[in-house]
Each structure stands twice: as C-alpha cells, then as structure tokens.
Structure 1
Amino acid sequence: MKVLKFGGTSVASSGVIKQVREISANSKAERIAVVVSALGGVTDLLLDTMHTASRQDASFRKALKGIEDRHLEVVRELLPTKAQSGILSKVKSELNVLETLLEGAYYIGEVTPRLSDKVVSYGELLSAFIISEYFKVSGLDAVFKDSRELLITDQTHGKAAVDFKETDKRIIHYFEEESAKVVILPGFIASSEDGNVTTLGRGGSDYTASIIAAALKVDELQIWTDVSGMFTANPKIVKQAKPIAHISYEEAMELSHFGAKVLYPPTVQPVLAKGLPISIKNTFDPDAAGTLITRKSPEEGRTVRGISYIPGISLLSLEGPGMIGIPGISKRFFEVLSLANISVVLITQASSEHSICIGIADEDASKAIKEIDKAFAFERSQGKIKPVAHEKDLAIIALVGDQMKNHQGLSGRMFSTLGKNNVNIRAIAQGASERNISAVIRKEDVKKALNTLHETFFEENVKQLNLYVLGCGNVGSKLLEQLRKQRKYLKEHLRLNIRVLGISNSRRMYFDEQGISLQNWQDLLAGGEKANAGEFFKTIQKINARNSILVDNTASEKVAESYPRYLRESISVVTCNKIACSSAYENYRQLKELAKQFRAPFLFETNVGAGLPIIDTLKHLVASGDEVLEIKAVLSGSLNFVFDHFDEHTTFHDVVKQAQEQGYTEPDPKIDLSGIDVMRKILILARESGFKLELSDIENRSFLPEEALKTKDNNQFFAALQKHEAEFQQLVRDAKAKKCKLKFVASLKEGKASVGLEHIPQGHDFYSLAGSDNIVLFYTKRYPKQPLIIKGAGAGADVTASGIFADIIRIGTY
C-alpha cells in the first residue's frame, strides 16, 4: 500500500486534478490513500474572507461568492452534466454552513481560534469531496473519508497535537474494514476528543499523509508537488540547481527547516521511527525521478547535499558584563521567548558568556525585544546588561549533508567563497552533528550567496564571471566579439562561464541580469537607457551578481576615479585606462590595497603593452625575489609606427594621420606624440618594480614644437604639425647621418625615469623594431647583462582586447 499526498498546486484546477487522477490510477500499489490539500490558494482566501468579516466589512460576502464560484466551476469542468446535480447540491450545502460561520464572525466582530479552524477546514473538505466524486465517476474504485473521524488531537486550535495512540487505532481499523482501492482524505484537518474541528498547522496536509503512512506501515509515502523533488538549491534562485536523487531523513529535515518548501519538517517524524521511504514527485512531470528519502542516503556522492535558506530573519543580541559567570541568564532569556510563543531558528553564544545572539522571524522581533527588555529591566537599570540589539532584513543560508562531518575544510570553503564576493556574515552556527553549517547574511545577498556556494560545491568547478563593460568602441567591440567566439572553448577547457550583464558607451547603457546576447548587443545598447555613471554603479549593486568584474575600455578620468567604490563592493576591475595607475601615487597605492582588502583583483596589463604580458612578467620577477636594476623600452606602438613610416619621402602630418585612422593612436594623438602616454607607462612599470614615483618625477624630452603642445583640438594640432614639417624632416636627416633610427625610448634606472626620442644604432635590440611593435628590456639581478626581452604588437584594438581578455581569464582562475 502507498499514501499519495497532493498539495495545493497539484489540485489548483480541473486540468491538474485530471492529472492527479491519472497518477492515482497508474499507481502500481494494490491500494492507495490519496490525501489532498485545498484547491490552490483557497486556504489563504478563506483566512482573508474570515478576517474581513471579523472587521464587520460586508465585502466578505463577495469574497465568499468567489470561493463558491471557484468550487462550482471545478465541479462543472470535471464531471459530466448528468452527474453534477447531487454534487453541486452538497457543495452548496457545505458553503451555506461556511457562510453561517462567517456571518457569526461578522456579527461578533472577532475571530476565535476555534472558529478559524472550522472556517479553514472547508478548503480541504470541499477539495477532497469533489475529487473523490470525480474519481468515482471516472471509473476508479474510490471512496471519500473524512479525516476528522480518524485523526484525534488535543484542543489546541491552529496547531493541534496528535493523539497517536487513538489516531493509529482508528486509521488501522478503518483501512481494515474499507475495501475500496482508492481512499481520498482531506489533509490538514482533524478533530479533538470532544468533537471540535482542529487543524495541524502549516504544512498539515503533508503531516496527515505521514501519520496515515506510519500507522499503516505502507511501502512508500509519496509527496506530489510542483517540482521534481528536493533540489541542491532553490531552482527559482539558482538556475543550475539539480534534483537530489536520494537523501536521508535528517538531511531532508535540515533542508526543509532551512526553507526547502517541498516538504514540511514534521512530516518526516511519523515515518522516521518506522523507516518508511518518502518520495517527492512532480505532478506536472510524473515520469521524473524525483527525490527518495530514506533512513540512509548512499555513502557515495557529495558531502554537501543541498544549500538552502530562510528569509525574513532578525538577529537579537543580549550582551553585557553582568552576564559573565552568572548562572540562569540563558534560561531566563529563552524562557521569555518560549512564553511569548516565539520560535528561535538560530543560536550562537560567545565563549566568554558576554553575549547571546539568536535568529527569529522578522515579524516576531518587536514582541521579542519588548518581552526581553521587560524581563531584564533590573539588570539594564544597573548597567549590567545592555538593551537588546536588533538587526533586521537578514536571511539564514545553510549547507546541509550527513557526510560533512567526515570532511575537513568545508566551513573554510564556504566562508572563503562568500568573502570573495563581499557577502558579509553576521552570525554563524554549526551543530555538533555537523550536519549543517548556517550563516546569517543580508537579504540582498541571498541570490549571490546561493549561486556562489552552489557553484563551489555542485557545479564541477565551472566558475561564472559576470562582466560590466564600459566603453564599446574599437577595443570594447573587439572584446565582446572575442568573448562571443570563445564562449564554448572557455566553458569546455577552462571551466569558465562568462556572461556580460551590462554594457555602456558615452550615450547609452543596457543591462540584462540573465546575460546580454553578444550577437546583437549593438541593437540592445542603442535601445538602452541614457548613460549615467552613478546609475551604472547602482544597477550593478542592485543586480549583486557573484564574481562581478568591471571592464573599463575608456580613457575617462571620471571612470578611473570610480574604481575605489567598485573594489569596495568586491567587484574586480580590469582596465586598459592608464589614468588610475598613473595618477597620484597615493591613489595607486589605495587601489592596490583595496584590491587586497576586498579580495577583488585589480588588473591593468594593457596599460603598458596592449596584449603583451609585460606587467605580468614583471610581477613574477618581483614575487620570485628578483630585483629590477634597469628598464629600457619602446612602449608606444603609435610612436613606433610613426617613426617607422616617417622619412624624407613622407610628411610627418600624413604619417600621424595614418596612425590615427588605423587606430594606433588615442582619439587625441597629442597624448601619444607629447610623450605623456609613454610617461604613464614607464611610471606604472616603475611603481610595479617597487619605486615610489609621481608622473612629475619623470623627465620628458619632447620632440614636439611648443606650438603643437599648446593646441586645444585635433584640427589645431594637425595644422601645427604641417607648419613645423621642416623641424621633423631635420630629425630624420640627423638620424640618417648617424646611420641610426629614431625611437621614442622610456628608461628607468636607479629609481629615475625618463622618456624621449633617441638615435638607435644598428645592432641594438630596438633597431629592427617595426610597425606598431613594443619592446621591453628587463635588466635585473638575474638578468644583469643579457636582459629579459618581451617584444610584440603593442597597439591596435585586437591585441588590446586580447590583453583585457587575458586579465579576465586571470581573475577566472584566481
């Protein structure tokens, strides 16, 4: 024999009830007991209607009419016309009694617990009666049985305690006498010894099914709901959550306690002692495997079986010097809460006995504070105990698994994962059984925390990175295209799932929490909202995604100034914008410190050599204990392009124009030609080498005429270049006379840096440097005579985008 329980969503409409009938008819058990809830949403409607009536609001009659119509409609949709008459009469008769009860609440202007139980019982009674009649008419050997005749409780209304001795006796006797193959029973309701209606509390229909299953020692208790079993996490929040095939009673109870709503925790109790299996099944997908709950789950498999949470939590803390070494403080504290009927869901106490911290439901917080402060009024007046401290809008997250106690380091992984994503933990609790590890966090962080933990413990090391891209011009568009093309490779080979959640240019910005399509991002951005730096940051905060990275492809000083607030939110920063790292040394140092403090990488490889691994190589040299003695470098791909193409057969103006058009220079080419860009680059290398330098400390031997340096826009700048063409031609002639080439060289030696145009003779490492290539020579204690050389393309949108891409991957493997 089996017991099948169908919840409200499983009997919400006539269409779903037909599915319930098919599931019941196809059961392989010789006999089944079918326990049903009220039609979906009806219990809440009954409660609302009752309270409306108690406020002497005549609109309760309209609400009651809606409840009546709902049930009559289901009857008419399920049953053939010739079979409807008697059933409709019975339903209307029951609803007339319900109306009388509601009229009573209306006239006396209040609701008693006893009346409340009577009113809400009609949801299950009507549902079970209608379903039983439908089963009969559709050809099943079925019968209706009123659970109030079987389940006997005390007289506590709202959450009655079951008299199991009498209840078991009645259940066994009834099923021995009843021969029908299918018995339909209303869940949730029972009766007291004196015959009054009682209810079993939240999740009472599950409890009813469990009580019957335990009394009859059935082969299996099946809980049919709207999901395919218990999941590794809430699938509505964690899209990658998976059903758990097999789990133990204790694990199921822990997950249910921490918010897995497919199972009500007391449900497990009656079947637990008798070792009866529970199966969680999906009414809407009956062929899905679901979750099997037994005394022991399989030994193999993951140590963490699920991740769950409880929302709407408040933390209350009682502390003070008067608590230390005083017996009975804890007893008084919890006794106050017990007498106030307040449930405590989490407890933690300092070993010094200086404080006790508890987690309770938000709605109980005000009442609890009032009662606790009253109970400890004397100690407060003496300054021995402080007023209760209250933190609200929190949630509890928990890792659950029977085998967790046998594996070291789970707590460390949990808290490290949360810390990397700026999820602040307010309190921690772990039972001696080590079956769960619980932490209290802000409710705003729940989604990020659950997804991050699920990624860590269940997703086979596939790490999701969430990008917010500022700047979608040459470099930004190339980066997005590279991300699109490499998406599959990254997932298969590097276990990285990279999504772009936000993009912005100087005019528009666009967000999508599920990930922006990189096929048509241009169209999406064009239709986005007006760009606003402040709103861009606020939206990222609101989305609050795990492993978030700001990618700055701009040359904006304003954007560079915003990096600290991103890092403080544990949002990593990847940038090709040189302004931040070449600004005041104190700002550079602060950014590096913030990155360490909030465990948010701040990477800027492309600041110096586009896609070349210059900074990364330098970092490894320093980290391994090497010491930089000297750096000689050609760091401007644009300047190298210009002087590689400029000769007596060309004009300086035309070559610079060509470099600009091919994307080798900044939008304002004066930044490159003035030497300021190279100054920033050598400054960054000096700082990464350990030298405390400012931009003003770098000597700049500029080759540009003063007039060109003072221009205010590109038109004036190019006009100045044309005017001074003779001076540029002279530079070429001087170099040719010495059989040298012109290169704009950056140097760092003994803590002093300079940049300027130099004559490079044949045989020098710089002499053959062509096009837009860069080259860096690192002279260190390990490479004192023959330098470590890095050489390659140092400008262009493609290689710069690839450098940014590489930094993103570094964070992904961090």
Structure 2
Amino acid sequence: MQQQVQNIEFNASLNPLKQVEVTTNVHKFGGSSLANAACILRVVEIIKDNAKLNDFIVVSANGKTTDQLFELLESADNDQLFATQLKQLKDDQAALINELLDNNQAAQLLQQLTADIEFINTESANSFKQSRNDVLAFGELWSAKLLAAVLSQNVCKANAIDARKVLILDSGNNFQLNEQLSKTNITAEKLANQLNIFTGFIASDEQGNTQTLGRNGSDYSATIAAHLLNAQNVTLWTDVNGVYSADPRIVNTARKLFRLENSVAKELGRLGNPVLHANTLNPLTTHNIHLNVASSFAPQDSGTEIGAFGEIAKSEISVTHNNELIKIDSTEFDVKTLEQINTRFQPIYQCQNNTCIVISQQFADLALHYLQAQNITFSTLKVSLIAVVGYQVANRGEIKARFKRALKHTDIAQFVGSSNGHSLLAFFEHESSVELINKVHSQVTKDSRNIGLVIAGLGNIGKRFLEMLPQQLNRLPALENVHLVGLATSKKALINTDGIEVNQALELFQQDSLAYDNQLLLEWLSQHPYDELVLVDITPSEQFSNLYQAFFEQGIHVISANKCAGSSSTKAYNQLLNTQQLTGSQWLVNTTVGAGLPVNYAINDLLNSGDEINEVAGIFSGTLSWLFSNFDGSLAFSQLLQNALEQGFTEPDPRDDLSGLDVQRKLLILARLAGFELELTDIECQNLVPNSLIGLSTDEFLAQANLLDEYFADKLHEAKQQNGCLRYVARFSKTDSGYKAKVGLEILANDHAFANLTPCDNIFLLTTNWYQDNPLIIQGPGAGRDVTAGGLHSDLVNLCRELAVKTKEVEIKGIN
C-alpha cells in the first residue's frame, strides 16, 4: 500500500453515534473528480466537510474507465488489441485499490475485480451481443465499491449500492422510470447510520436487464435519487466551479453564473451546455430541490446554485453554442411521428410547419434508424447553433436587438425564439466560429454583471442614502445592475439574496430584520451569489470597522464614511491595504473627510500624476467651523454650544466635537493618502474640553458647560486685539527631518483664507510641488445629510463604473 489517508479526524456529523438529521442531501462526484488516488482522497475530505450520514453519494466511473470500456466493446473482434486493453483496464483499477486500501480491504476488491475481468473476457467471445450494458456498468460499480471501502477504512461505515437494484425503467413506456417501485427499492437498499454510495449511469428494466442513462447520465442518476428521497439539495461535484455565461474554454470573458432560475438552467441543458445536461433537471421539478454545481478541485469556491429564485437571478443572460447538430427535413412528418421523436430524441428545435427537426448528433443514428423503419423520406444537414439563454429572453426586446446586431453580416440560416421563451436560437449551415461566439457574448452580456449592495448604518445619513437610492438606480446606467440586498444596524440585519425593494427598504427592515453578531454577518455575506458585493459603511463604529479585514479577504468592496479603519494603527492600516490589493477589493473613503468635497480625489490625482504633497491644512470639522464662525462674544460660548446642539450641528455629546479627535483622525487619513506613514498619536491634538469636564455624563457636562465660557471669552478677546478670529485648524507639513502635525485652536488674521467661511463649511489647503506659491484650495459644506449621502453615492457610481470593465481570469480544470 503506497498511500493512505493519514490522521483523519472524525467529523461529528459523520459519527454514527450522533443523531442523524431528517433532511437528506445528495452529492454526486464525476469521473474527473475520482480520476486517481489523489482525487479520491480529496473527495473523502469533501465528504467529511460537507456531508452527514443521512446523505446520499452518487459516483461516476473513475477517470476514463467508461471510455476504456467502450473501447473494449469496439475491439472485441481484434484479439490482440482486446487483450492489451483489458490488461490495461485491470492494471489501472488494481493500482487504485492498492494505493488507497490496506491489505485486507484491498484483497477483497482485487478478488472481485479478477472475477469481473474474467466475465468481460468470456463475454467478448460473443462480441457482447447480450451483455454490452453489463460491461459498461462495471465502471460505476468499481468506483462505488472503492469509495465505500476508502470511507469505511478512514472515516465511517459506507455501503455501496448497485443502482440496478433501485432504478427500474419501464421498457414498455420508452424506458420511463417506474417511480413507485424505484422509491420502494431505494428505501430498502439505503442503510441507516452509514454513508450510502450509489452508482450513477446505470439502471435496470423490468426484465432485469441492465440499462444505461446515456453519457453523463450520473448527473441524471443523482437528481433521480434526490427526487425519490425528497432531498433538499443536490451538489454536482465536478471539474469546473460552476456554470458560466459561455464556455470559458473559448470565451475568456465568460463570468460565473452564481444563481440560475430552474427553467433557465433546464433550457441550457436542453441546448447542450457542457456542464448541465438535458435530463438532469427533470426530476427536480416536482420538489423544491436546489441543485448546486461545485468544483471538487476547489471546494472552497462558491459554485452555481440552481433553484426557484427572484428577479436578480432571472436577469442572468448566457450564451451557449452547439456545433454537433443534425437538421432533418421531411414533408412526411405526422403528429404521431413527431410525438415519438420528441419523446425519444429530445429535439432542440421543431419548425412551426412541422417539416423539420434539429437534434443532437448523439441521437442521430437512433433517430435516422427510427425514420427509416417508418418508411419516411427525409434529408439531413449538419448545422450549428448559437443561443442566448435567459428568463423569458425571447420577450426582452433589447437583448433580442443586441443578438441580431451581433449576427449582422453573418450567413445565418434561421433566427427563432424557443417555444418556452427562455432562449433565442440562431442556426447556421456550418460550424459557429469562436470569433462569432465571442462577439455575441460580448454584445448580449455586456451589462449583465450583478452587484449586491449592503448598507450598514441607518441613522440620518443612512436613511438619506436610502431615500436617494431609487432615483439613482433609475437614472444612472452605471448602477443598472446594482441590487440592494442587505441592511444592517448595530443589532439587527436584513439580508435577502433575491433583493430588497428599495422603495420599501426601511419598512421591510422593520418587519423582517434579525438579530445578528459579526460572525453571523460574515457567514451571510460569504455566501453571496453576486459577481461583486459592495458594503457601504455609514456607521461610526470602530467595532464594525474591525470587520474590514474579513471583508477584503472575501473580496468584498467597501465604501466608508467610517473614519476608524483609516485612522487605525499603522500596522492594521497597512494590513488592510495589503489584503485589499491582494484580493482586488476596492476601498473608497472619500466621505471620511470633507463629506462630499473631492479632497481625497484631488490628493490621489496629484500623486498619480507625479506631484508630491508638501502640506495639508484646513478646517475639517463642520461643527467647529459653525461654532467659531458664529462666536463673536454676543453669546457666551456655552449658550452658542447649546444652540448648535439643538439645531443638530453637534454630536449628541458635544465633547466628541470639542475633543479634536474627529479632526485628528481626518488629518491622519489625509496624511496617509498623501503618502506618509504615521500614527494618530504622532499628531498633536488640543482638547478644548477641560479635565474637570471630561469624566462627566453628557447631562452633567451640559449642566456645567458654563465652565467653558471664561477660557473662550479670553481667547476671543486676544484674537480681537490682534485684529483676528478664532479657528480650529489642522496642519500637516513635510520637514527636512520628516513631518510635523497638529490640530488646535489658532488666531488667524481676518483676511486669512480660513477666516471667511460660511458656517459649517470645510476648507482644505494643499501645497505641492506644482502648487507651491499659490496652494490649491477646496472649500464647501463639510457636513450634512445631503452632501454626505451624495458623496457616498458618488463613490458608489465610480466604483460600479470600474467594476463594469473588470474581468476575472477563468481557471478551470476541464469540462466533463
């Protein structure tokens, strides 16, 4: 034994002593997922992490085993070739067994393998006339027995089930499933307190003959089993991590479709999608069973979920193509013949005048044989298809127009909408070129990226942001695919992956929000099914800002009015920047300083253009701007402060403004944006609250606020003597030895640029290499619901414009 699973810990959900949950999930593993020993060990880990004892595991044959069996059937008349291929088949299976199992376990399977190989050898003498399907069944049988043995040896008891004892097909009714009998059988064969490993691809008819469900039939087996067991979910573990908007092997801009509506997925399968197959979804239609497509090579990746979803999932558009189609023309088709053709050969298209059908080449031989047996005269032609697929896409005028524009100047043979309305079909009398497929995909999916929007903080600014959102979504093309999917306060959250109606967002939050903690929020957001997720943080919470690291690790973009992360320790700040850049997340902080004023944009633009920032100065607090612009001695400072509080110009506790901490944080954010590395404590900060008032409650402070009056009266008198005014100023400047930074009260000349402000205005002065003698000044409202909410919307629009042209490189192992 060369390799074995080492140090596997029992998953509590797999422990036979644990109570088994009532619900059942089905996990299907394709041939590429079970191709070799390393793949099988990976599957074992996936089962440990994702399955429980009540679940059902469906397997394909290992790797290329089914192909090898088909080759054996074809070479039965060539003794030498047959012997070589049979030996190779046996050696491959024996190598897997010996590599994965200890001697005792291996001996039993090797004995059975020898008997099976001898059966194949014996049947070859008769050219497999009666045993063709029996031979093809060995691939799945060997795979199921091997996986069951590996699980039994290393994880928990496992039971291999031969699907021929379960799935019974009615040979008198076009081999339809005998559902009642199959349901009785699966209940009888499924063992309690064990993992049940079920063979895909194979079944039996009522006479006991082995039948197969067609190539890629294991997916179909999995959904049949889910239907019979009334399972909750089916996961198809394959070699790709989902369904894409086009075949990613030829369209490198294809994007993963995280969620697909059932009927759309079924249409994709009907038309020949390489991941979804025609019959796979049929058994799920009578139950509310979700289908997931995930990668066994990257099990941590979010795959594609298929189910009954709302409008966001229904807006998805994809392009599929098929170059292996046959068009059959005949004027002799009658109703009965067409019924038989539709039942047995699954045509992709039938002409309205009933004179032609288009079928996949896999059914061609059978269909032509049937028509010949009916003495029907017909002609055939190889054709290809490019199809645009989406929910009722045939009735979506703009998509239809784009598709037609992309096909302009092509020699298209026919353009039709499917009868179910979920696809637009373009047929050609030659193979569809890669260039044309890419052109169609680019034209019809150019604005189909779905961006989920989560808003944290529903105070004054958060509510105003929500009030502005409906109009913004309706009038700005950049926000066309933005969907409000989450709202959160400090205690409650509402997350709805089908979208939250923006015009009723606050009412829905009041009705449906749930209590949460940070870990639960992260779990919710980690499961998001969107191309991009944007979180707008309008909270003042340092605790919430501590989640940014986790957000960036998940690739979530953050728009922040919250100053805490941007003014955190240098180590924490740099870690955020590094994670953000590593994952491609965006972090927009333009409203952390100056509300909607473009000071951050100006600094970034100057630096990106090659300039250097030498000085940043100004008045950064709208509250302190209002106070000192209105403080002329006619009212005591404490009275003026009370007026500001009553008008909503200050924080509920005015000491939060008077402490200077807010200004200190803003200066730190700008200095860091300017390229300097410093801590908050490196900025000298004058606290305007005397020590005697710091430790009081808010009410006690307000009752004793008159203790501020003497100090500020003296400072005002001093300013007037100098023919000046009082202003609370932030200053950062580069020096020969580094920099100096402070925020505090200053006396400024009455003609100073900072002196003549409209109350509440902010002003920013930037001195750079290019703006030395005449500094750049930005002035305007630095606080307020409208300007701050507007600044956040500005960030959202700019971010969405950038995301619209973002492409992710598709990494795939292959497609079954």
Give me the TM-score of the superposition, normalised by structure 2: 0.52
Offset at 1:714?
Answer: 2.0
Can you list the C-alpha shifts for 1:105-141, whole angstroms capped at 9, x where unaligned?
6xxxxx3226999xxxxxxxxxxxxxxxxxxxxxxxx
Equivalences for residues 787-798 of structure 1 within 5 A: 787-798=775-786
Provide the C-alpha distance between the structure 2 equivalents of 1:179 and 1:604, rounded to a whole number of angstroms: 67
Can you list the C-alpha shifts for 1:24-80, whole angstroms capped at 9, x where unaligned?
xxxxxxxxxxxxxx99xx97962444545767979xxxxxxxxxxxxxxxxxxxxxx
Match of 2:636 among 643, 647, 651: 651
Whether 1:728 and 2:715 are equivalent positions in the alignment is no
Kept after mapping to 2: 8 A contact 1:646/1:655: yes
Q: 1:577/1:697 Cα in 2 relative to 1: closer, same or farther (>3 Å)?
A: same
Equivalences for residues 100-139 of structure 1 within 5 A: 111-113=208-210
Equivalent position SS for 1:506: coil
Provide the C-alpha distance between the structure 2 equivalents of 1:781 and 1:474, rounded to a whole number of angstroms: 40
Provide the C-alpha distance between the structure 1 equivalents of 2:617 and 2:746, rounded to a whole number of angstroms: 12
Kept after mapping to 1: 8 A contact 2:596/2:788: yes
Cross-structure match for 1:632: 617
Whether 1:785 and 2:773 are equivalent positions in the alignment is yes
Can you list the C-alpha shifts for 1:727-775, whole angstroms capped at 9, x where unaligned?
2322222222322111100011121100100111121101101210011
Match of 2:453 among 429, 447, 467: 467
Can you list the C-alpha shifts for 1:275-333, whole angstroms capped at 9, x where unaligned?
99788764456xx994242224799xx9463xxxxxxxxxxxxxxxxxxxxxxxxxxxx
Match of 1:576 among 561, 583, 587: 561
Match of 1:810 among 798, 803, 809: 798
Provide the C-alpha distance between the structure 1 equivalents of 2:186 and 2:574, rounded to a whole number of angstroms: 65
Match of 1:563 among 537, 540, 548: 548
Can you list the C-alpha shifts for 1:364-417, whole angstroms capped at 9, x where unaligned?
xxxxxxxxxxxxxxxxxxxxxxxxxxxxxxxxxxxxx5x79xxxxxxxxxxxxx
Match of 2:425 among 291, 300, 313: 291
Match of 1:546 among 527, 531, 547: 531
Provide the C-alpha distance between the structure 1 equivalents of 2:524 and 2:394, rounded to a whole number of angstroms: 20
Cross-structure match for 2:740: 752
Can you list the C-alpha shifts for 1:492-512, whole angstroms capped at 9, x where unaligned?
xx4643321101112321122
Kept after mapping to 2: 8 A contact 1:739/1:762: yes
Equivalences for residues 478-489 of structure 1 within 5 A: 478-489=464-475
Equivalences for residues 230-629 of structure 1 within 5 A: 231-233=387-389, 235=391, 282-284=418-420, 290-296=424-430, 303=435, 305=437, 401=438, 458-461=444-447, 464-491=450-477, 494=478, 496-527=480-511, 528-629=513-614
Q: 1:212/1:291 Cα in 2 relative to 1: closer, same or farther (>3 Å)?
A: farther
Offset at 1:569?
Answer: 1.2
Per mean C-alpha deviation after superposition, the further-off stretch among 633-642 and 643-652 is 643-652
Can you list the C-alpha shifts for 1:405-446, whole angstroms capped at 9, x where unaligned?
xxxxxxxxxxxxxxxxxxxxxxxxxxxxxxxxxxxxxxxxxx
Q: 1:671/1:55 Cα in 2 relative to 1: closer, same or farther (>3 Å)?
A: closer
Whether 1:801 and 2:789 are equivalent positions in the alignment is yes
Equivalent position SS for 1:724: helix
Equivalent position SS for 1:609: coil
Can you list the C-alpha shifts for 1:556-593, whole angstroms capped at 9, x where unaligned?
01111000111111111110111111110111112122
Match of 2:177 among 41, 46, 67: 46
Q: 1:53/1:475 Cα in 2 relative to 1: closer, same or farther (>3 Å)?
A: closer
- Matched AA of 1:486: Q
Kept after mapping to 2: 8 A contact 1:245/1:292: no
Can you list the C-alpha shifts for 1:325-369, whole angstroms capped at 9, x where unaligned?
xxxxxxxxxxxxxxxxxxxxxxxxxxxxxxxxxxxxxxxxxxxxx
Match of 2:698 among 707, 714, 722: 714
Kept after mapping to 1: 8 A contact 2:394/2:418: no
Can you list the C-alpha shifts for 1:757-812, whole angstroms capped at 9, x where unaligned?
01111211011012100111111111112100010000112111111111112211
Equivalent position SS for 2:704: helix
- Matched AA of 1:501: V
Can you list the C-alpha shifts for 1:129-154, whole angstroms capped at 9, x where unaligned?
xxxxxxxxxxxxxxxxxxxxxxxxxx
Kept after mapping to 2: 8 A contact 1:674/1:709: no
Q: Give the length in aligned residue pairs.
A: 480
Cross-structure match for 1:671: 656
Equivalent position SS for 2:481: strand
- Matched AA of 1:488: N
Kept after mapping to 2: 8 A contact 1:686/1:748: yes
Q: 1:738/1:515 Cα in 2 relative to 1: closer, same or farther (>3 Å)?
A: same
Q: 1:56/1:759 Cα in 2 relative to 1: closer, same or farther (>3 Å)?
A: closer
Offset at 1:674?
Answer: 0.5
Kept after mapping to 1: 8 A contact 2:392/2:423: no
Offset at 1:530?
Answer: 1.8
Cross-structure match for 1:186: 340
Kept after mapping to 2: 8 A contact 1:628/1:779: yes
Equivalences for residues 7-22 of structure 1 within 5 A: none
Kept after mapping to 2: 8 A contact 1:549/1:574: yes
Equivalent position SS for 1:186: helix
Cross-structure match for 1:694: 679
Kept after mapping to 2: 8 A contact 1:246/1:293: no
What runs of 5+ residues in structure 1 fail to find an aligned partner?
1-37, 59-100, 106-110, 118-157, 159-170, 191-200, 224-228, 249-274, 306-400, 405-453
Equivalent position SS for 1:588: helix
Q: Which has the larger radius of gyration?
A: 1
Offset at 1:632?
Answer: 1.7
Q: 1:697/1:56 Cα in 2 relative to 1: closer, same or farther (>3 Å)?
A: closer
- Greater relative contact order (Cα 8 A, min sep 6): structure 1 or 2? 2
Equivalent position SS for 1:606: coil
Provide the C-alpha distance between the structure 1 equivalents of 2:592 and 2:632, rounded to a whole number of angstroms: 29
Equivalences for residues 160-171 of structure 1 within 5 A: none
What is the RMSD computed on CA atoms of the aligned residues? 4.4
Equivalent position SS for 2:678: coil
Provide the C-alpha distance between the structure 2 equivalents of 1:239 and 1:559, rounded to a whole number of angstroms: 44
Cross-structure match for 1:739: 723
Cross-structure match for 2:254: none
Can you list the C-alpha shifts for 1:193-237, whole angstroms capped at 9, x where unaligned?
xxxxxxxx99987875576689844589999xxxxx974355499
Equivalent position SS for 1:600: coil
What runs of 5+ residues in structure 2 fail to find an aligned partner?
1-168, 190-203, 215-278, 280-327, 346-358, 803-816
Provide the C-alpha distance between the structure 2 equivalents of 1:245 and 1:217, rounded to a whole number of angstroms: 32
Provide the C-alpha distance between the structure 1 equivalents of 2:448 and 2:184, rounded to a whole number of angstroms: 55
Offset at 1:683?
Answer: 0.9
Kept after mapping to 2: 8 A contact 1:566/1:572: yes
Offset at 1:598?
Answer: 1.1
Q: 1:813/1:52 Cα in 2 relative to 1: closer, same or farther (>3 Å)?
A: closer
Kept after mapping to 1: 8 A contact 2:497/2:529: no
Q: How much identity, in percent, do the aligned residues show?
A: 27
Q: 1:681/1:213 Cα in 2 relative to 1: closer, same or farther (>3 Å)?
A: farther
